[in-house]
């Protein structure tokens, strides 16, 4: 399923062969939580060159629900997207959204944040939901260990996740869809190593690094990412979940990560924080009131090719829907262009130059 | 500026020659209050075949303000739209939005609804603002008579608007931009006639019918529209402001109206009420939960060509931004397609058939 083409240091260039087509790595996956990347339509995503998008098991299970998804033969048919989709397992949302959750060995019992309905999400149900969604890549259900955690809390939580991973692996019925295990173990290297050994013994199609970007200091995130990449198998893709800033992506690729998802380009776009070739731009800044230049002179997106900072600021201040869309479009373009630049740099053996440039550009 | 090509009954087919290009009539103008048609970008509007859009003097004057607009040489440059724009004068918004307004012979004093700043909007200032905006068609400042109004109230209000119209006509400095007078007189035929006589003596490039769609019964609206059209000059365009439903458009065209603007397709789209070839659709209806058919099988818009009612309902219920956009796109497509169908019917002499079809389709 995964072919590694080239390495430049630890940065990797590869191809994922998935049920709905090939995906080049490194890859950034825009997040379409409930079945749409906010403010975007599939036509936009095609133009942006998005190769794979993310859907959310928890959200889609509680709304619209599997009965609707089945009617359309899966998520692709329902949302009108014919390229690969990755779904997470719902583990993270149980912790961040659900009310009155109770975790035990069987799985998680919780109330839907929409209607209070009781749900018992087991590793087996998470597999069933994701096979019904028909996403090209599935995640096993895991317990996202909260931060900070004592060694014993982290060990217990990780080991339960490993038992759930084994049940998830056993439960699947659609082997044409890839299933990824999720490495846990909080900030403890030996627990991460134990988790990797447990998961690799189950021979997943790929491995996610979970339990990061949950409030820990950046050096911890970098340290654990590096520790995991050094021990994960070379011939399988590595996915760092929920990360991150442009510099997070680049530094993680430098450690050996292949795949990313994050709400940052879409959410920050809607909130008026933009990523540009010259660094961060806050669109609310009064200095842009009369600014005729585009947001980013080096950007080929529709927003930068057609509108001034002044107009974008005006639309944002006036809370116009169009602002959310134009700013999201720019940020996604920035992220996907960055990924293309990174691929080119790895291919040319100049990845470290790109890394150094961005370390100078962004505040760490 | 206006060429009348053909009549079918009182329905008219014409062409407006404007500073930024030609516009065929009858025409529906999407509303871009503060400089964008909500959820749309110019590229969408071009694809939709929108020939002219509306901007709002009151809103644009208080934000971003004339200093910004001047920097871009006018509204076209600021918003990135190179086809015709019509601006209203701000009269309606003074009544609906401003705080502590005070009208006297000089004009209107009011506080901005944004920052409380005091503004004295005179007929002359309304001309200056609109000439700075550089819109192809301007409206004179008028007093939008509230409904109901006694005969004397309506007469006093209308006569003041006529004096303001004369001042507006005298104040303009850019004759290449069209200026429209606005007929007032509430529901009183003789006052409407008096208003038309006053305005036509000033020889405006076109005439708006104002003071309708302000809460009066539909028969009153139809009666006054017909009364005005029967008396307005044949060789000038007639613009019914702020109207309306698809049937309102068709019945008003049957009376002799050429131009319309209304927030209905955009606002109703965002609120989940859609106009289709089979009538109104409320997207929230549970009957659409599993519906694989598109919103309108006879519609060529991106929304109807790519998505099911089920998916659109899901996006709407989940309050996704993408729903607002897809539903707005459909409603605008419906309105602009309707206008094209009406033009074709007038050209073929079958307008009365189209009218009868829609009288059967929509509840009056």
Instruction: Please state, rounded to an integer, the average pLDDT across all residues of chain A.
Output: 96
Residues of A in contact with B263 (CB under 8 A): none
The answer, yes or no, to whether residue A361 has pLDDT greater than 70, is: yes
What percentage of chain A's residues is helix, strand, coil (to nearest 5)?
45, 20, 35
Residues of B in contact with A80 (CB under 8 A): 306-307, 311
Which residues fall within 8 angstroms of residue B213, CB to CB, at 6 or more apart?
B221, B241, B242, B243, B244, B248
* Catalytic site positions of B: 88, 261
If asked whether residues A229 and A332 sit together in one domain, one would say no
If asked whether residues B248 and B274 sit together in one domain, one would say no
Closest residue, chain A, to B321 (C-alpha): A39
Distances (CA, A) of A263 to A71, A173, A244, A269: 29, 30, 8, 10
If asked whether residues B237 and B331 sit together in one domain, one would say no
Task: Determine what percent of chain A is predicted with pLDDT higher than 90.
Answer: 91
Closest residue, chain B, to A68 (C-alpha): B290
Closest residue, chain B, to A328 (C-alpha): B321
Q: Among A262, A280, A299, give the residue marking a domain's end.
A: A262
If asked whether residues A62 and A131 sit together in one domain, one would say yes
If asked whether residues B141 and B170 sit together in one domain, one would say yes
Interval A211-226 mean pLDDT: 95
The answer, yes or no, to whether residue A97 has pLDDT greater than 80, is: no
Cβ pair B35:A306 closer than 8 A: no
Alpha-carbon distance B281 to nearest alpha carbon in chain A (angstroms): 20
Please name the member of B80, B302, B314 whose beta carbon is closest to the beta carbon of A64.
B314
Alpha-carbon distance A70 to nearest alpha carbon in chain B (angstroms): 10
Tokens of B271: 């609120």
Could you give the CA distance from residue B12 to residue B99 in angstroms, rounded to a whole number? 40
Per DSSP, the three-state class of B56 is: strand
Residue A101's pLDDT is: 84
CB of B177 less than 8 A from some CB of A: no
Per DSSP, the three-state class of B278 is: coil
Could you give the CA distance from residue B190 to residue A241 in angstroms, rounded to a whole number? 72
Cβ pair A321:B325 closer than 8 A: yes
- Concatenated DSSP letters for A118-184? EEEE-HHHHHHHHHHHT-SEEE-------SS--HHHHHHHHHHHHHHHHHHHHH---TTSEEEEEE-
Residue A43: count of CB within 10 angstroms of its CB: 11
Could you give the CA distance from residue B265 to residue B328 in angstroms, rounded to a whole number? 7
Q: How far is CA B271 from the centre of its chain?
A: 19
Could you give the CA distance from residue B319 to residue A36 in angstroms, rounded to a whole number? 11
Residues of B in contact with A267 (CB under 8 A): none
Tokens of B162: 């006529």
Residues of B in contact with A43 (CB under 8 A): 302, 306
Could you give the CA distance from residue A119 to residue A103 in angstroms, rounded to a whole number? 12
Q: Among A208, A227, A262, give the residue marking a domain's end.
A: A262
Domain annotation covers residue A326: yes
If asked whether residues A42 and A106 sit together in one domain, one would say yes
Domain annotation covers residue A364: no
Residue B116's pLDDT is: 86
pLDDT tens by residue, B336-349? 999 999 999 999 99
Which has the minimum average pLDDT: A132-146, A157-171, B9-23, B95-109? B95-109
CB of B193 less than 8 A from some CB of A: no
Interval A78-87 mean pLDDT: 97
pLDDT tier at A364, thresholds 50, 70, 90: low
Domain annotation covers residue A123: yes
Q: For residue B161, give its domain range.
A: 2-262
- Answer yes or no: are the C-beta atoms of B276 and B334 closer than 8 Å: yes
Domain annotation covers residue A39: yes
CB of A176 less than 8 A from some CB of B: no
Could you give the CA distance from residue A43 to residue A30 in angstroms, rounded to a whole number? 14
Q: Is A104 a catalytic residue?
A: no
Could you give the CA distance from residue B283 to residue B315 in angstroms, rounded to a whole number? 10
Please name the member of A63, A68, A323 whose beta carbon is closest to the beta carbon of B318.
A63
Domain annotation covers residue B359: no
- Answer yes or no: are the C-beta atoms of A206 and A239 closer than 8 Å: yes
Interval A70-74 mean pLDDT: 97
Closest residue, chain B, to A40 (C-alpha): B322
Interval A193-219 mean pLDDT: 96
Closest residue, chain A, to B309 (C-alpha): A78
Name the DSSP class of A109: E
The size of chain B, in residues, is 364
Nearest to A38 by CA among A335, A350, A321: A321
Rg of chain A, C-alpha, whole Å: 20
- Taking a contact as any Cβ pair under 8 Å apart, which residues of chain B between 31 and 90 contact chain A? 34-43, 59, 63-64, 67-68, 71-72, 78-80
Q: Among A201, A231, A262, give the residue marking a domain's end.
A: A262
Tokens of B208: 């708006």
Could you give the CA distance from residue B128 to residue B263 in angstroms, rounded to a whole number? 26
pLDDT tens by residue, B297-334? 999 999 999 999 999 999 999 999 999 999 999 999 99
If asked whether residues B176 and B223 sit together in one domain, one would say yes
Cβ pair B322:A41 closer than 8 A: yes
Residue A227's pLDDT is: 98
pLDDT tens by residue, A306-334? 999 999 999 999 999 999 999 999 999 99
Residue in A8, A88, A136, A248 annotated catalytic: A88
Cβ pair A314:B64 closer than 8 A: yes
Identify the CATH number of the domain in which residue B155 sits.
3.20.20.105
Domain annotation covers residue B233: yes
Domain annotation covers residue B361: no
Residue ranges, chain B, pLDDT below 50:
none
H helix runs in A18-121, sequence order: 42-48, 57-62, 66-71, 75-79, 91-96
Residues of A in contact with B67 (CB under 8 A): 290
Alpha-carbon distance B307 to nearest alpha carbon in chain A (angstroms): 7
CB of A19 less than 8 A from some CB of B: no
CB of A295 less than 8 A from some CB of B: no
Give me the long-range contacts of A230-235 (CB less than 8 A, separation at least 24).
A230/A256, A231/A192, A231/A193, A231/A196, A232/A183, A232/A196, A232/A200, A232/A207, A232/A256, A233/A200, A233/A207, A234/A4, A235/A2, A235/A4
Which residues fall within 8 angstroms of residue A190, CB to CB, at 6 or more apart?
none
Number of structural domains found in chain A: 2
If asked whether residues A271 and A257 sit together in one domain, one would say no
Residues of B in contact with A321 (CB under 8 A): 36, 38-39, 270, 321, 324-325
Name the DSSP class of B31: B
Cβ pair A79:B311 closer than 8 A: yes
Per DSSP, the three-state class of A10 is: coil
Residue B243's pLDDT is: 95
If asked whether residues B247 and B297 sit together in one domain, one would say no
Alpha-carbon distance A235 to nearest alpha carbon in chain B (angstroms): 38
N-terminal to C-terminal alpha carbon distance within chain B: 35
- Concatenated DSSP letters for B195-233? HHHHHHHHT-SEEEE-S-SSS--HHHHHHHHHHHHHHS-
Helices (H) and strands (E) in chain B, counts: 15, 16
If asked whether residues B108 and B224 sit together in one domain, one would say yes
Helix axes B321-348, B246-255, angle to 10 degrees: 30
Alpha-carbon distance B290 to nearest alpha carbon in chain A (angstroms): 6
If asked whether residues A246 and A298 sit together in one domain, one would say no
Residue A90's pLDDT is: 86
CB of A112 less than 8 A from some CB of B: no
If asked whether residues B71 and B178 sit together in one domain, one would say yes
E strand spans, A317-356: none
Residue B364's pLDDT is: 55
Q: Is the peptide bond before B332 cis (omega within 30 degrees of 0)?
A: no
Q: Is the peptide bond before A64 cis (omega within 30 degrees of 0)?
A: yes
Cβ pair B321:A320 closer than 8 A: no
Per DSSP, the three-state class of A13 is: strand
Q: Is the pTM of this model over 0.90?
A: yes
Give the ipTM: 0.96
pLDDT tens by residue, A337-349? 999 999 999 999 9
The count of CB pairs under 8 A between chains A and B is 122
Domain annotation covers residue B165: yes
Residue in A248, A254, A258, A261 annotated catalytic: A261
Beta bridge partners of B111: B99, B118
């Amino acid at each position: 399923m995964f072919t590694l083409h080239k390495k430049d240091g630890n940065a990797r260039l590869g191809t994922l062969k998935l049920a709905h087509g090939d995906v080049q790595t490194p890859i950034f996956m825009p997040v379409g939580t409930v079945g749409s990347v906010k403010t975007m339509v599939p036509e936009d995503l095609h133009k942006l060159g998005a190769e794979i998008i993310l859907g959310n098991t928890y959200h889609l299970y509680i709304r619209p629900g599997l009965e609707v998804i089945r009617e359309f033969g899966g998520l692709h048919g329902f949302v009108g997207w014919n390229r690969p989709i990755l779904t997470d397992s719902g583990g993270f949302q149980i912790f961040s959204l659900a009310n009155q959750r109770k975790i035990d060995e069987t799985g998680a019992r919780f109330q839907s944040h929409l209607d209070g309905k009781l749900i018992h999400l087991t590793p087996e149900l998470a597999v069933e939901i994701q096979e019904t969604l028909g996403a090209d890549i599935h995640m096993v259900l895991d317990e996202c260990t909260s931060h900070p955690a004592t060694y014993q809390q982290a060990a217990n939580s990780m080991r339960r996740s490993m038992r759930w991973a084994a049940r998830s692996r056993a439960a699947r019925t659609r082997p044409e869809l890839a299933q990824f295990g999720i490495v846990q173990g909080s900030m403890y290297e030996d627990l991460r190593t134990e988790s990797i050994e447990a998961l690799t013994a189950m021979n997943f199609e790929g491995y996610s690094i979970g339990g990061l970007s949950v409030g820990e200091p950046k050096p911890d995130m970098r340290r654990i990412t590096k520790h995991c990449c050094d021990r994960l198998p070379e011939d399988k893709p590595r996915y760092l979940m929920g990360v991150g800033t442009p510099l997070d992506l680049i530094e993680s690729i430098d450690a050996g990560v292949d795949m990313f998802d994050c709400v940052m380009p879409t959410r920050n776009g809607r909130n008026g924080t933009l990523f540009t070739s010259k660094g961060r731009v806050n669109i609310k800044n009064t200095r842009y009131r009369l600014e005729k230049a585009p947001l980013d002179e080096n950007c080929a997106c529709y927003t930068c090719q057609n509108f001034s900072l002044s107009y974008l600021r005006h639309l944002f201040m006036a809370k116009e829907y169009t602002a959310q869309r134009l700013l999201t479009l720019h940020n996604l373009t920035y992220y996907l262009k960055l990924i293309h630049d990174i691929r080119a740099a790895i291919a040319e053996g100049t990845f470290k130059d790109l890394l150094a440039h961005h370390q100078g550009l962004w505040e760490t």
